[in-house]
Structure 1
Amino acid sequence: MDWVNRMNKVIDYVENNLNDEIDSNEISRIMACPFTVFQRSFIQITGIPLSEYIRRRKLTCAAYELQNTDDKVIDIALKYGYKSSDAFSAAFKHLHGAAPSVIRKNNVKLTFYCRLYFALTIKGVDKMDYKIVNKAPFKVIGIRRTTPYGGGTWAIVKRDGSAETMKELSGHICDLGLCFGFGEDGSNDYMCGIEWEKEDIPEFDKYIYPAATWLTFEASGKISEQVLNHVWQRINQEFLPQSKYRKSGLPTIEKYVLWDDAADICKVEIWIPVAIK
């Protein structure tokens, strides 16, 4: 329950500081882990980046104040971190579908996003199979990019021929996806690559893992049923909070054993470097 309590304390901190800067160092202190680790867990559990949650909550509160106070639009905009009424108006209209100037009129439809609350849910009938693997240092080469969404780097390597080149070099498909973390805007620092024991290749990025202990899980089933996301959610919501392990901060790995869009089937190994709590 300690993990769940810490997540709720982070939300308390965010909610109490919607009018101020959100300090990533304070979130790290509350969670007792690096901020990048928290960001990865947050988006895997909720499906949105922390920055998007904060944006939605700020604009939800701003709508309430527009309806229930006589404060000027620019004052409310500044209160919630927008430096101009134009920037505030554009963000407000994108979320609510209406400009701030018309909110005080009757019969205006608005969007409301609730405060998040985390609770531990135990599903005893649904087992989770996992392995503990102690792995020596190893190197991955590939293409590392920061893109607006998780699959962006895969699109790049498939389009520019990098995936095919890595297949020719290794004798198997480009099968590793390394997640380094998410930016404040929800962008994903991600690397598509292969395990590599030979000399570096100039046109490819590289990442060297130190010796580490890994938790491994398997996501196998229909792509259309979001099986990979479902397993990630269970890892973060059920397994890690109750286990003696925590993420170490090294990039997690998704190893794509099979991914067939036409057949709507996948088999993905999830590798998580961990340390003892």
Structure 2
Amino acid sequence: MIAELNRLLEAIEAELSEDIDVGALAGGFGTTEYHLRRMFSSLAGMPLSEYIRRRRMTVAAADVATDGRMLDIAVRYGYGSTEAFGRAFRAVHGASPAEVRADGGPLRSQPKLRFRLTVEGNSSMDTRITHRPDFRLVGLAARVPLIHEGVNPHIQAHVAGIPASEHARLKALSNTEPAGLLQVSADVDPDYAEGSELTYLHGVAVDAQAATPEGLDAIEVPAGDWVVFRTSGAYPAALQEAYAASATDWFPSTPWRLRPGPSIVAVLERAEDFSTATTELWMPIERA
């Protein structure tokens, strides 16, 4: 995966002044756009689309500093108007093209990235691969923003608003793996951008043949392979570290890649105040 990401970076540099077809590039590398975007954002700490915009505006700054027509420069970098180009330019540099041309700055550069895999081998991941037939996730769903670190207050508020009777009702419905009450994240932005919206479902897994009770939301999950990471420790820090380690350690060293689908967290044990927990993180995968 590291080699594919570096090939992607080279391709981006060659096409900064053109529309970049990430899907076509991913196919040429023998992987999927979904997996490529998720791995990039996890390792780079920013969405792929944001990196492309920053690099494009970094290079464009040199042209802005010349006396070329601003519209020509805008078109050269894929923008249909000087207004659209100016908004993108200001978002990166904090100043308009006209201000930079007049004063020479300020300018903020995005260096070209290069990924390297560092193998330490000083820790192991408690992981298993399992195949699951079709199943359904049923529960109570809400649209919430993605937050990478710490407790998500929007999810916290959603769960706190569910009556105790509903928790008991849901738990009684569970009849297949992953077992018990689940934290489900679906419809996640492939770039995994902070603040982007996702569907959060507090619910359980049931057989595909089971009916969805009235008043509950449902997510259909097709048959496929899953990687399951077991974590124990401070909550949610240990769980969030497992997400990060899957990208930095596990996927680069295995013949698996992410496929579209929900990620699922099963809480196996927890402290009364939820300060610590033992969890299983389920991620949908396929052979690379």
| TM-score normalised by length of structure 2 | 0.77
Q: What's the counterpart of residue 9 of structure 1? A: 7
Query: Is the 8 Å Cα contact of residues 135 and 212 (structure 1) preserved in structure 2?
Result: yes
Residues of 2 paired with 1:84 and 1:127: CA distance?
A: 52
Q: What's the counterpart of residue 239 of structure 1? A: 250
Residue 63 of structure 1, CA deviation: 1.5
Residue 122 of structure 1, CA deviation: 0.6
Query: Is the 8 Å Cα contact of residues 134 and 223 (structure 2) preserved in structure 1?
Result: yes
Q: What's the counterpart of residue 113 of structure 1? A: 110
- Structure 1 gaps of 5+ residues are none
Q: What's the counterpart of residue 154 of structure 1? A: 155
Q: What's the counterpart of residue 215 of structure 1? A: 227
Q: What's the counterpart of residue 131 of structure 2? A: 134
Q: What's the counterpart of residue 89 of structure 1? A: 86
Residue 153 of structure 1, CA deviation: 6.8
Letter in 2 for 1:157: H
Q: What's the counterpart of residue 170 of structure 1? A: 170
Q: What's the counterpart of residue 206 of structure 1? A: 218
**Secondary structure in 1 matching 2:200:** strand
Residues of 1 paired with 2:286 and 2:235: CA distance?
A: 31
Query: Is the 8 Å Cα contact of residues 255 and 268 (structure 1) preserved in structure 2?
Result: yes
- Structure 2 gaps of 5+ residues are 173-179
Residues of 2 paired with 1:144 and 1:39: CA distance?
A: 25
User: What number of residue pairs does the alignment pair up?
Assistant: 271
Letter in 1 for 2:170: S
Letter in 2 for 1:60: T
Query: Is the 8 Å Cα contact of residues 182 and 267 (structure 2) preserved in structure 1?
Result: yes
Deviations 1:31-66 (A, max 9, x none): 423322322222222222211111111111122222
RMSD: 3.3
Q: 1:4 to 1:177 in 2, by over 3 A?
A: same
**Secondary structure in 1 matching 2:245:** helix
Q: 1:222 to 1:111 in 2, by over 3 A?
A: farther
Residue 185 of structure 1, CA deviation: 9.4
Q: What's the counterpart of residue 276 of structure 1? A: 287
Query: Is the 8 Å Cα contact of residues 34 and 259 (structure 2) preserved in structure 1?
Result: no
Residues of 2 paired with 1:25 and 1:50: CA distance?
A: 12
Q: 1:188 to 1:217 in 2, by over 3 A?
A: same
Residues of 2 paired with 1:80 and 1:165: CA distance?
A: 56
Q: What's the counterpart of residue 195 of structure 1? A: 204
**Secondary structure in 2 matching 1:104:** helix
Residue 26 of structure 1, CA deviation: 0.9
Q: What's the counterpart of residue 64 of structure 2? A: 66
Letter in 2 for 1:167: H
1:55 pairs with 2:53: yes
| TM-score normalised by length of structure 1 | 0.80
Residue 272 of structure 1, CA deviation: 1.9
Residues of 1 paired with 2:30 and 2:166: CA distance?
A: 38
Residues of 1 paired with 2:163 and 2:103: CA distance?
A: 56
Q: 1:94 to 1:40 in 2, by over 3 A?
A: same
**Equivalent pairs: percent with the same residue?**
25
Residues of 2 paired with 1:166 and 1:23: CA distance?
A: 45
Q: 1:112 to 1:165 in 2, by over 3 A?
A: farther
Query: Is the 8 Å Cα contact of residues 157 and 163 (structure 1) preserved in structure 2?
Result: no
**Secondary structure in 2 matching 1:101:** helix
